Amino acid sequence: MALLEARGITKAFGQLTALSGVDLTVAEGEFHGLIGPNGSGKSTLLKCIAGAEEATAGTIRFAGDDITDATPAERARAGLSLKFQITSVLPALTVYDNVLLALQAQSPLLDLIYSRTRRGLDDRVMAMLEQFRLADRADEPAATLSHGQQQWLEIAMALALEPRLLLLDEPTGGMSLEERRVTGRLLAPIKERCSLVIVEHDLDFIRDICDVLTVLDQGAVLDTGSVEHIQSSRRVQEVYLTRV
């Protein structure tokens, strides 16, 4: 059974139709890349899946449950985690507190009030920060991090929720070449922990880490299949490679 099944997702903003009847299926443990020219609806699709945008039509099933009408918090609790395109770390809080905030999100209310999980989560926060090369900045406000480091912190926060499916919207946006390489290395081990849907412009980056690619064009699916299939697809080459 597929982990995520989005069927006929349509999203209209007034007169503009951003998505029209898009299907997306993600299997357990799969790394799924969403590519397409600017304005093809990649980010909108991701937002509809995470609940940041309400789809005008269509259904979304996650792990067998219909989550079409679920709130973002309910989707997060079900195991869907979204990293936004524009970094939205909490700038005034310390780097450490940003990760703790994500890790403690599902602690019961009384545990939060009595701070019962703070000590227990310390190791996991630090392990997360080590993994994303942020441990030595733990005590500093997140606002002082570089853009690339803020992206890593965002990924760390999204991953801290131990999601079954991680949705990454342009994780390497605005990064230097070196930072992109490091990001690729940081994402590789995630494969053992969850599935991934990733929106990315950098084709080299996405080719290296994804099993399956879906190409969107003007709000519709142009093609979907393995990396090799997509690379050899004439339709994709015509539409995508000539326009990007």
Partner 1 sequence: MSLPVAESSGTRASPARRGLAVIPLLEIGLFVVFAVLPFILEDYLTVFVTRVLILSLLAISFDLVWGYAGIMSFGQALFFGTAGYSVALLARDLNITSVFIVIPAAILIGLLLALLLGSFLLLGRRTPTVIFVALGTLTGSYAADRLARGWYYLGGQNGIPSIPPMTAGSYEFAEGPVFYYLALATVVLVYLLCRFLTRSQFGLALAGMREQEARLAFLGYRVQHLKAIVFSLAGAIAGLAGGLYAFHEGFVWPNMLGVVLSTQIVLYALFGGVGTLIGAVIGVIVIEIVSFWLADNYQEIWPIILGVLLLLVILFRPTGLIGLLVSQRERVGRFGRPNLARAKSREGSRHGAS
The piece of 60-68, 79-87, 208-216, 223-231 that touches partner 1 (CB under 8 A) is 79-87
Smallest distance from the beta carbon of 145 to partner 1, in angstroms? 11
Strands 57-62 and 4-13: antiparallel
What is the x/- site pattern for partner 1, positions 157-176, by CB under 8 A? x---x---------------
Query: Using the rule CB under 8 A, which residue among 13, 65, 66, 72 binds partner 1?
Result: 72
Burial of 66 (0-12, 13-18, 19+ CB in 10 A): exposed
Note whether 144 binds partner 1 by CB under 8 A: yes
Note whether 59 binds partner 1 by CB under 8 A: no
Smallest distance from the beta carbon of 105 to partner 1, in angstroms? 4
H helix or E strand, kind and range, residue 61? strand 57-62
The Cα–Cα gap between 236 and 65 comes to 33
Sign of CA dihedral 32, 135, 149, 182: negative
Note whether 156 binds partner 1 by CB under 8 A: no
Note whether 136 binds partner 1 by CB under 8 A: yes
Alpha helices in the chain (DSSP H): 42-50, 72-78, 95-103, 109-113, 118-131, 147-160, 177-187, 203-209, 227-232, 234-236, 242-243
> What is the contact surface with partner 1 in residues (CB under 8 A)?
50-52, 71-73, 76-77, 81-82, 84, 88, 90-94, 96-97, 100-102, 104-107, 109, 111-115, 117-119, 121-122, 125, 136, 138-141, 144, 157, 161
